[in-house]
Amino acid sequence: MRILVTGVAGFIGMHVAVRLLADGHEVVGIDNLNDYYDVGLKQARLNHIGTPNQFHFHKLDLADRDGITSLFADKNPQIVINLAAQAGVRYSLVNPYSYMNSNLVGFINILEACRHFGVGHLVYASSSSVYGLNEEMPFYEGQNTDHPLALYGATKKANELLAHSYSHLFNLPTTGLRFFTVYGPWGRPDMAPMLFADAIINHRPIKVFNYGQMKRDFTYIDDIVEGVVRIAMKPATPNNDFEAKAPDSASSKAPFRVFNIGNGQPVPLMNFINALEKALDQTVEKEFMEMQPGDVVETFADTKRLRDWVGYQPKTNIHIGVNVFVDWYLANYHHDRE
């Protein structure tokens, strides 16, 4: 099939594109290559995808309505996997308008294009951040998600609501995927694994928030990709058991679904740091600090609905995932283990 992947120069987008190409699909990739972080890394990801006959890259911003419309008219994708977004919780405190343009204006442009050009299935990245103030563990998709703690999570919740309206009004199958702390090779340099690895290698202290009393449902990139691809191949359908008097927020009478993709095994932050130290054969000085605004103490994904829908759940052990990440980091950032 011809599949459009937005944010194709991003961490998850690159891996999804590589997998889809390996499976024999044609991939149209778009990315605006903005400078939120190292553009060189984004270009290196595109180079990693390569330029086979089945991959076509277009530098394009989701907020460019005319550009998006023209692309859909020209390429006519059958499936759209929307992974483009302004990411990061802390950056939203500094530059909120970037989130509005990418995550809201950009998303409505994608929805409109899917509607008008007959796309068979829209899969889009949501986030565990939508759970916000909720502390009932594990997080399951039917829980209330009306209390996000930061603008990033609020925009992801808004994406789910917008998607539902298009599923209801235009019978557009949409599936939102709530990702949980994705890590692995080619990861973002503003996220903990890269920041910590760089500090450990260069003998700098690391900042450990909430005095280390945090847990994250770290999910390895290959597991995320497997979930995304399986979901993409199974378009959302109406929930025939949906009860309008007691509505489930992750399904509907419309072809609308939302799923968690997480490892389902929260790891204490200090354990993750220890795994990095062991893989790099070095220890690091830790600066224990207060909780950051917009952050949460713990994330924990219930993945039963994902298992029931596509027969899959993430499974990569944290030590295996960290070792693969460290091997990639050392090879690509010209360090060794000496």
Q: Which tens digit of pLDDT belongs to each residue from 194-230? A: 999 999 999 999 999 999 999 999 999 999 999 999 9
Would you please indicate which residues are annotated as catalytic (active-site) residues?
Answer: 152
No. of H helices and E strands in the chain? 11, 13
Res. 235 pLDDT band, cuts 50 70 90: very high
Q: How many CB atoms lie within 10 A of CB 241?
A: 7
Q: How far apart are CA 190 and CA 208, in angstroms?
A: 14
How far is Cα 67 from Cα 65, in angstroms, rounded to an integer? 5
pLDDT digit string, tens, across residues 147-156: 999 899 999 9
Whole-number pLDDT of residue 94: 85
The closest alpha carbon to 9, from 79, 87, 77, 65, belongs to 87
Topology of domain 2-183+220-263+301-315, CATH: Rossmann fold (3.40.50)
Instruction: Look up the pTM and report it.
Output: 0.96
DSSP string, 13-64: HHHHHHHHHHTT-EEEEEE---SSS-HHHHHHHHHHH---TTEEEEE--TT-
Q: What are phi and psi of 215, to 5 degrees?
A: -130, 145
Q: How far is CA 40 from CA 8, 102, 317, in A?
A: 14, 21, 30
Calculate Rg over the CA atoms of the chain: 19
The model's confidence at residue 338, banded by pLDDT at 50, 70 and 90, is very low
Instruction: Give CA–CA dist 84/159, Å, rounded.
Output: 12
> In angstroms, rounded to a whole number, what is the distance separating the alpha carbons of residues 322 and 132?
27
Q: What is the pLDDT of residues 22-37, one digit of tens each?
A: 999 999 999 999 999 9
**How much is the mean pLDDT over the chain?**
94
- Percent of the chain at pLDDT > 90 equals 89
Q: Name the 3-class secondary structure at 208.
A: strand
d(CA 208, CA 98): 27
Distance CA 218, CA 197 (A): 16
Of the candidates 275, 267, 268, 289, which has an alpha carbon nearest to the alpha carbon of residue 206?
289
**pLDDT interval class at 334 (50, 70, 90):** low
Q: What is the mean pLDDT of residues 323-327?
A: 96
